[in-house]
Amino acid sequence: MLKFNPKYFVLTIILFVTEVLIALFVHDNIIRPYFGDVLVVILIYCFIKSFLKLAVLPVAIFVLLFSFTIEFLQYLHIVEKLGLQHSKIARIVIGTSFAWTDIMCYIVGIIVILFSENYSKRKINNR
């Protein structure tokens, strides 16, 4: 179960750098709020798959439920309740505002994962 996968680790690093660049330099109404949320679930998925040899679907479902949980905690204003409202890192990592569009973006990200993994599996099987 515990096995390092360099492919997923490299993807994790690329996605993390992309997310940081989006957070620092993109201040628009499409890429940052939507594309960034799609990428974040892919980032979390790749991070988990970097270290754990698990089937695609259980990891994808876990990441989706984890993302929904974080979004629900935003609805409850968890950052303020934990006294972290002045922590820029906490506000970025946990988030501060609930949005249904974020939920939709997480679902889109998981769909991208499932299609990508299915495509990769078919490509490998056809060799």
Q: Report, in this order, helix, strand and coil percent for the chain, each rounded to 5.
A: 75, 0, 20
Give the pLDDT of residue 125: 85
Give the pLDDT of residue 89: 87
Q: Is residue 50 a contact partner of residue 7, using CB atoms and an 8 Å limit?
A: no
- Domain ranges in the chain? 6-125
Give the pLDDT of residue 93: 83
- 41 C-beta neighbours (distance < 10 Å), count: 23
- pLDDT over 80 at 51, yes or no: yes
User: What is the per-residue pLDDT across 85-111, written as a single tens digit (0 to 9) for each?
Assistant: 999 888 888 888 999 999 999 999 999
Q: Which residues, at least 6 apart from 91, have a Cβ–Cβ distance to it below 8 Å? A: 79, 84, 85
